[in-house]
Amino acid sequence: MTPHPTPIVQFDGVSLGYGDFTVLSGIDLQVLPGQVVAMMGGSGSGKTTLLRAATGQLHARAGTVQVFGQDMAALHGEPLLKVRQRMGVLFQGGALFTDLDVFENVAFPLREHTCISESQILERVLATLQSVGLRHAAHLRIAEISSGMARRVALARAVVLEPELVLYDEPFAGLDPISLGITAQLIRTMTDQLHCASIVITHDVGKSLPIANQIYLIGQGRLIAHGTPAELSASQDEYLQQFLQGRPDGPIGFHYPLTPAFERWLAHRREAIGA
């Protein structure tokens, strides 16, 4: 490996938002091949929003988002599809096709994006299911598997094309402690085997610290901290420590921030009822 491999994902001074609401600004982020990067932050802090910027679903209002060295704002049509084919995404909640069985869910990206034969699809899907421990569940319908198994099927689907970048949005949510540990370890081994880059969005500090090379913590509309798990654990930053220890008291607020959109909505509402 070269001393400075080209980053798979690079954010420089990125600002993101919806309408008149700026969710995040000044985000600098770098993900290298072979790295698992954990993206942490409270609910509503903008983690899924960051992921949308990486896939090109949302454009930066300021700064640049580069994936595989390409500026996502400049990509449209076929070149954008080509970049997306090099990424695997595990959506928040899994989003499996409930009318397809386990096998067809994992086969789906192969059918969409490759021209390989049915026998190659069979081998490839079974091998991917094997790596998540579900080879023998290939024939089951989605309604017949547990939520932990469904998460592993979603993981298999996200990696079946052997992507260079995998984005996992809350892969641990709703899993029991054993499934959670297994899923975390799977993300690490898949990243090592494929030598891809993985971004894992999670609230789970305990499970992500051991598998992550780098951790980014976002909150209050900005990047609060980033570093190796050891660096962050040793930091004295109050916000960071509150997050890492899950303390209810500290600088992290519970309330959704006040926006002009809310003020407009409330004014209309009051006007409508004459209050």
Nearer to ligand ATP, 21 or 265 (CB): 21
Give the count of beta carbons closer than 10 Å to the beta carbon of residue 113: 13
Closest approach of Mg ion to the CB of residue 158, in Å? 16
Segment interacting with ligand ATP (CB under 6 A) among 18-26, 64-72, 145-153, 181-189: 18-26
Count CA within 13 A, CB hemisphere, residue 139: 1
18 binds ligand ATP (CB under 6 A): yes
Segment interacting with ligand ATP (CB under 6 A) among 30-38, 47-55, 69-77, 78-86: 47-55
253 binds ligand ATP (CB under 6 A): no
Closest approach of ligand ATP to the CB of residue 254, in Å? 13
Q: How far apart are CA 78 and CA 76, in angstroms?
A: 6
Listed in sequence order, the residues at least 6 apart from 120 whose beta carbon sits closer than 8 Å to its beta carbon are: none
Closest approach of ligand ATP to the CB of residue 41, in Å? 5
Segment interacting with ligand ATP (CB under 6 A) among 43-51, 152-160, 242-250, 262-270: 43-51
Q: Which of 43, 117, 119, 245 binds ligand ATP (CB under 6 A)?
A: 43
23 binds ligand ATP (CB under 6 A): yes
Segment interacting with ligand ATP (CB under 6 A) among 27-35, 42-50, 154-162, 183-191: 42-50
152 binds ligand ATP (CB under 6 A): no
Q: Which of 7, 46, 88, 229 binds ligand ATP (CB under 6 A)?
A: 46
DSSP 150-198: HHHHHHHHHHTT--SEEEEESTTTT--HHHHHHHHHHHHHHHHHHT-EE
191 binds ligand ATP (CB under 6 A): no
Nearer to ligand ATP, 19 or 274 (CB): 19
**Residue 148, class by beta-carbon neighbours within 10 Å (0-12 exposed, 13-18 middle, 19+ buried)?**
middle
Q: Which residue has the tokens 């309408």?
A: 19
Residue of 128, 83, 76 whose CA lies nearest to 102 = 128
Listed in sequence order, the residues at least 6 apart from 152 whose beta carbon sits closer than 8 Å to its beta carbon are: 132, 133, 134, 179, 182, 183, 186
Residue of 57, 61, 67 whose CA lies nearest to 11 = 67
CA angle, 112 then 117 then 119, to 5° = 120
Interacting residues with ligand ATP between 62 and 101 (CB under 6 A): 92
Residues lying near Mg ion in the complex (CB under 5 A) are found at: 47-48
Residues lying near ligand ATP in the complex (CB under 6 A) are found at: 18, 21, 23, 41, 43-49, 92
